[in-house]
Structure formats: structure tokens, C-alpha cells
Amino acid sequence: MPKGIYECINCGSQEVRESAEPLSSCPHCGGDMVLMGFTEEAEAVEEPIPQLMNKIREFYEIGSMVKKDANVIAFEVHAIKERDFEKVLKELETLGYWAALKRKNGKIVLYVFPARHVKEENPLIGIVLFIATLISTFGAGYVLSMGYVKALDQYNLPGIRNVYLNALAFSISIMTILGTHEMGHKIAATLHGVRSTFPYFIPFPSFIGTMGAVIRVKSPIPTRNAAIDLGVSGPLAGFLVALPVSIIGLKLSITLPVLLVPLEGGIIFGTNLFFIILEKYLLHIGNDYVILFHPMAIAGWVGILVTFLNLIPAAQLDGGHIARAFLNERAHAYLTFGLGFALFALSYLWIGWLIWGGIILLMGKMGNPGALDEVSPISTKRKMLAIIAFLIFVLSATPVPLATG
């Protein structure tokens, strides 16, 4: 893997690290580190070619060159002619270059460096993982369906007793939620010219049969607007699918007086504001009743939990990309580590927060380099999207995801 060259925008010092492990801050002065180029898979910058310079001057009024080495050239920008940085990036890429627009010592600086070659992925891997996850989630759904049908028989209630149909409903529901979440990211990435893979599903032997799905972003995020779009698109898309799945699942669930249901030894699914609203105002369930979830309700609940976890504004989680658009790298690093230790404190409510706190702290060491263009303002539309993401985060917040009776 090519190593990335990172430069501090304050003191100008450089560090070379693996490109997948960006620095969170300058080890000398603590300033923001900017990815300037790569030590491999890139041609060295000797002298700026006239075609490149003409293209740069087409978009910016630039002063003299403030930096030039084997991997990067930089110019002070006196005026920005082209406000659409994605257009700038696209046209520079046709010449074999990427660019970054940053603030340094109160000035705007344009960094230009060779574009990295993006390799194509083998689609067979994604297909195999999809089939494996379909099988594993169907198996998990079968086990959950056995418990649901057993409860129907125990209390002599009407309901769907076909375990295979219930298992299929669970599998399709949870994979649709997860897949839609990741396809939201994929569509947003494509609209902004960011190269990314299709979703990779992750099979795992657990009570839901999966560890989720991911896409790999393979080129830099161009602007802060794009970062917000990529961060919001997945959780919003997944939430919109989890909404009807949860409603249908809750309507198929079993509602019983609490005195009739022994809770010892059972799994208690944690609540959130979204489910509280559905249970109280849609199903009109009182406090002295309990719900035995249908497998589809469990799939919806998992979708809401996944939305909450991804919107935590830390590291390179979806919420982290949104927060990073508004914060510089140092402030975002402080927020990330603060949230990581806060989750450690929350482990007295649920032991799983110890793991999540560790994951966030580990991801925090990799940092979040942010968008290439950190000069252009964030649009009002994206600020509204960030507010929507925050509201979804609050609605889906689940302080105690799981407990045992």
C-alpha cells in the first residue's frame, strides 16, 4: 500500500505514514495535518506543466509558488473564480492531479499533487458475502421465529406460525435496512464523484446473523458539503426503511400483561424514543404490558440501533464525518476521544459500551483528515441535513441496547 505524505498547515513539517492511517495532528505543533500525496503509485511533480498551470489559473487567482517538492506544489490563492470545487477536482484529475484547498496562517493555499490510481474491486467477493449473509441471517431468523411461535402456542394466541416465513421476513428486513443504509452512502458518493465500492455484507454467527454491511471509500471526499451528504445519506436511508419494518413488526408482535410474562432468563431489548412513540401512540400499549417481538420487529430494532451507533459524532463514523465538516481536525480529535471515554463511563449501564469505546478510541488514532476543500462554506441545505441527522440520533439513542431478565 502506498504511504501518504502529510504536511502540517501551521509549521509545514511533514510526516510519512501508511495512507490508511492519517495523522490526527502534527507531532511538533499540534496543527492540522493535510494529505499531500503518496510515496508510491504516483509520478513525481518536477515542474508544473503549462496545461496544469493554465487550468489552475482558470479557477484561481494565484500568487507565487509557496511550496514545491517531489510530491506536491502549493500556491497562495488571492481569489477564487470557480466556487464549485468538485468541478475543479474533476478537471484537474483529467490531467492526473488532485488538489486540496486549505487555510494556513490566515491565507488560502491550494495544494496540487498527483492523483492516486484507484483499483477496481472484484465483484465476486461482494456476491459471495451477500449470499453468506443471506444464509446466516435466515438461520438467525429461524431461531428467533421458533421462540415467537413457541410464545404463540404457550399463550394460545393467533399469529403467523410458519417459522420459515417468519425467518425469511427477518432476513429480508434486516438485509434491506443494512443494504439501503450502505447504498445511501454509495449514491451520495457517486453524485459527488467519490469512488467507492458496492456494499459488502458481513456474515457473523450471532442472534441477528450479521455484523452489518460496509462500503469502501477509495478516493478523497471533495468538500464539506459532500462530507455531510455522505454522512447523512446512509443513516437517513436506513432509518426510512427501518420505520415501516418496525411498524409492521410491532403489529405482528405479541402484547401481554406484564404479570403473565416471566422475564427471568430472557433477552430484554433496550428502548429508544422512536420505539416509545410507536408503542404508545401507534399501538396504544400501556406501561403494564410487555411486547414479545416478532422477528421483523427485531430487524427494525436492529436497524434503529445501527442508525444510532453510526451517527455517534466520532472518528470516521457517519456522524464523525458530519461533525468533522464543522470542526477542524484537532477539535474533532478531542471530541472523538472525549466520546470514547464517555462510552467507557456508560459501560455501567451496558457492558458493550466498553467495546464501542475501545473501537472509537482506536479509530480516533487514525484521525479524520476531512474534506479536500475546507475553505468553501457549508450550504444552508447541508446545515439542515445535519440538524435532521441530530434529530434522528436523538430518536434512535438506545442507552441500554440489551439486558437479561
Distances (CA, A) of 276 to 180, 255, 296, 393: 24, 14, 17, 15
CA distance 319 to 314: 6
Residue 214, classed as helix, strand or coil, is strand
Q: What is the mean pLDDT of residues 40-63?
A: 75
pLDDT band at 308 (very low <50, low <70, confident <90, very high): very high
pLDDT higher than 90, residue 13: no
276-302 confidence digits (pLDDT tens): 999 988 888 888 889 999 999 999 999
Contacts of 266 (CB under 8 A, 6+ apart): 404, 405
pLDDT at position 41: 45
Residue-number span of the structural domain to which 269 is assigned: 123-404
State the cell numbers at 179. Answer: 443494504
Residue 1, classed as helix, strand or coil, is coil
Half-sphere exposure of 233 (CA within 13 A, CB side): 20
Residue 377 pairs with which residues in a beta bridge?
Answer: none
Give the Cα-Cα-Cα angle 400, 335, 302 (nearest 5 degrees): 30
Evaluate whether 44 touches 60 at the Cβ level (below 8 Å): no
158-186 confidence digits (pLDDT tens): 999 999 999 999 999 999 999 999 999 99
Between 395 and 26, name the one with better pLDDT: 395
Q: Which of 86, 114, 142 is the last residue of a domain?
A: 114
- Clarify whether residues 29 and 71 are in a common domain: yes
- Clarify whether residues 130 and 188 are in a common domain: yes
- Clarify whether residues 242 and 310 are in a common domain: yes
pLDDT at position 265: 63
Q: Which of 61, 92, 114 is the last residue of a domain?
A: 114
56-106 confidence digits (pLDDT tens): 999 999 988 887 776 789 999 999 999 999 999 999 999 989 999 999 888
311-340 confidence digits (pLDDT tens): 999 999 999 999 999 999 999 999 999 999
CA distance 33 to 10: 9
pLDDT at position 32: 63
Average pLDDT over the chain, rounded to whole?
89
pLDDT at position 226: 98
pLDDT band at 44 (very low <50, low <70, confident <90, very high): very low
- Clarify whether residues 104 and 133 are in a common domain: no
Between 91 and 34, name the one with better pLDDT: 91
- Clarify whether residues 134 and 78 are in a common domain: no
- Clarify whether residues 16 and 147 are in a common domain: no
CA distance 214 to 321: 15
pLDDT at position 50: 83
- Clarify whether residues 255 and 202 are in a common domain: yes
Q: What is the mean pLDDT of residues 254-261?
A: 88
pLDDT at position 19: 47
Q: Which of 81, 114, 147 is the last residue of a domain?
A: 114
Q: What is the mean pLDDT of residues 44-60?
A: 79
CA distance 232 to 321: 9
Half-sphere exposure of 96 (CA within 13 A, CB side): 12
pLDDT higher than 60, residue 147: yes
CA distance 196 to 215: 7
- How many C-beta neighbours within 10 Å does residue 354 have? 13
Scan for cell 500500500, then name that residue: 1
- Clarify whether residues 128 and 195 are in a common domain: yes
For residue 373, what is the DSSP state?
B
For residue 101, which phi and psi values (nearest 5 degrees)?
-115, 110
Burial of 285 (0-12, 13-18, 19+ CB in 10 A): middle
pLDDT at position 10: 63
- Clarify whether residues 104 and 127 are in a common domain: no
pLDDT band at 28 (very low <50, low <70, confident <90, very high): low
115-126 confidence digits (pLDDT tens): 888 888 888 999
Between 133 and 402, name the one with better pLDDT: 133
Helices marked H in 19-68 — which ranges? Answer: 50-59
pLDDT at position 284: 86
CA distance 267 to 287: 18
For residue 14, which phi and psi values (nearest 5 degrees)?
-120, 150
Handedness of CA 348, 352, 357, 358 (dihedral sign): positive
Residue 17 identity (one-letter amino acid): R
232-250 confidence digits (pLDDT tens): 999 999 999 999 999 999 9
pLDDT at position 112: 93
- Clarify whether residues 132 and 32 are in a common domain: no
- Clarify whether residues 318 and 359 are in a common domain: yes
DSSP 306-341: HHHHHTS-STTSHHHHHHHHHS-HHHHHHHHHHHHH
pLDDT at position 21: 46
CA distance 175 to 232: 19
Scan for cell 412513540, then name that residue: 277
Residue 391, classed as helix, strand or coil, is helix
Contacts of 102 (CB under 8 A, 6+ apart): 9, 32, 34, 108, 109, 111, 374, 375
Q: How many domains does the chain have?
A: 2
Q: What is the mean pLDDT of residues 149-164?
A: 95
Q: What percent of the chain has pLDDT over 90?
A: 71
pLDDT higher than 80, residue 231: yes
pLDDT at position 1: 45
> Which range is most confident: 1-15, 22-36, 95-109, 328-342?
328-342
pLDDT higher than 70, residue 149: yes
Q: Residue 76: name the closest of 104, 48, 115 by CA.
A: 104
pLDDT at position 150: 95
- Clarify whether residues 259 and 130 are in a common domain: yes
Evaluate whether 169 touches 297 at the Cβ level (below 8 Å): no
